[in-house]
Amino acid sequence: METAFTPVSALIGGGLIGLATVILMAGNGRIAGISSIVGHLLPPLKDRFALPQSAFFVVGLLLALPVYKFATGAVPPHVMTDNAVVLVVAGLLVGYGAARGSGCTSGHGVCGISRLSARSIVATLTFMGAGVVAVFLLRHVFGG
Amino acid sequence: MRAVVSLFAGVLFGIGLIVADMTNPAKVQNFLDIAGTWDPSLMFVMGGAILVTMPSFMYLKKQEKPLFGEDFGWPSRTDLDLKLVTGSAIFGLGWGLGGFCPGPALTALPSIGTGTFLFVMSMLAGIWASNLQDTRNANLGKVQY
């Protein structure tokens, strides 16, 4: 399904993501990497110090959609596959891969690139490349 | 105060993802579909985020400590290892397949879609599995890969 090119809302949304990232670092000294933050909330819970603030950040993420809907009255568009097998496999790959690779789109793609970290630049190029391959196979080879 | 900062940053981060339409898997997949219905919008999301973050991080790196914490948790690793590349490749395959990365998936969760719920539960299982593997490798004194 086609989506419209929306550079302005993309820039504004990206700016807000950046602002949130800066607030978390300036206030608490933490990197806004979602996969790491979620990892702190799952066993073995070895980083007791990171636990409460990670929990508050995730609660904030979960509140964002209700707050957005309340403030704007708009329901953001959402189109995804209803194939349960695809969703479970995709979820497992995203969770396991991001944790193994020490970060996802936020930790590597935004925070890491902003620090000009070689590790994050390699990671970002790798997951974008793999994402292009996955979508190519899904849409143009297997015709999903 | 740390809790308030975390909560506020989480809400703002999520609203940014919604405004940028990253909570829409079709949008993400179109960004990755360079051979088909390519939509370059997400380049602008990343660009907008980095435009704000990079100069701010440069400033913060010169500061001694954060407003409400003991120290800055700047990542310290600089080595390029196989685990980084294989992990990122696995993540990327799932990202393309489902159109969700961790932040947008959690943000979209309150929409109570069955698909999003299934994805998030599987994602949590995946992160948990990686935690377990790290713990086991550490106990065995093995090199991580």
The interface pTM score, or ipTM, of the predicted complex is: 0.97
| Tokens linked to B143 | 């090199």
Distance to chain A for B122, nearest Cα, Å: 5
- What pLDDT digit, counting tens, does each position of A43-83 carry? 999 888 899 999 999 999 999 999 999 999 999 999 999 99
pLDDT at residue B132 in the model: 95
Tell me whether residue B114 is in a domain: yes
Nearest-CA residue of chain B relative to A65? Answer: B107
Q: Is residue A130 within 8 Å of B88, Cβ to Cβ?
A: yes
Tell me whether residue B13 is in a domain: yes
Using CA atoms, how far apart are residues B47 and B53, in angstroms rounded to an integer?
A: 10
Contact B53 A110 (CB under 8 A): yes
Side chain identity at residue A126, one-letter code = T
Using CA atoms, how far apart are residues B122 and A54, in angstroms rounded to an integer?
A: 20
Establish if B42 touches chain A: CB-CB under 8 angstroms. yes
What average pLDDT does range A96-124 have in this prediction?
97
- For A104, the closest of B29, B72, B101 (CB atoms) is B101
Chain A CB contacts of B93 below 8 Å? 93, 97, 130-131, 133-134
Residue B142 — φ and ψ, nearest 5°?
-85, 155
Nearest-CA residue of chain B relative to A90? Answer: B94
Tell me whether residue B145 is in a domain: no
Nearest one of B123, B8, B134 to A53, comparing CA atoms: B8
Burial class of residue B136 (count of CB atoms within 10 Å of its CB; 0-12, 13-18, 19+): exposed
Give me the number of domains chain B comprises.
1
| Tokens linked to B23 | 């909570």
Contact A95 B86 (CB under 8 A): no
What are the CA-CA distances from residue A134 to residues A92, A143, B69 (Å)? 15, 12, 41
Using CA atoms, how far apart are residues B4 and B21, in angstroms rounded to an integer?
A: 26
Is 70 exceeded by the pLDDT of residue A135? yes
Chain A CB contacts of B121 below 8 Å? 91
What number of C-beta contacts closer than 8 Å exist between A and B?
A: 504
Going by pLDDT thresholds of 50, 70 and 90, the confidence category of residue A144 is low
Provide the 8-state DSSP code for B110: G
CB atoms within 10 A of CB B102: 32
Contact B37 A31 (CB under 8 A): no
Give the range of the structural domain holding residue B60, as residue numbers without chain letter: 2-140
Q: Is residue B107 within 8 Å of B24, Cβ to Cβ?
A: no
Establish if A144 touches chain B: CB-CB under 8 angstroms. no
For chain B, what percentages of helix, strand and coil (3-state, to nearest 5) are there? Answer: 70, 0, 30
Domain residue spans of chain A: 7-141
Is 80 exceeded by the pLDDT of residue B141? no
Number of residues that make up chain A = 144
Using CA atoms, how far apart are residues A87 and B118, in angstroms rounded to an integer?
A: 7
Side chain identity at residue A25, one-letter code = M
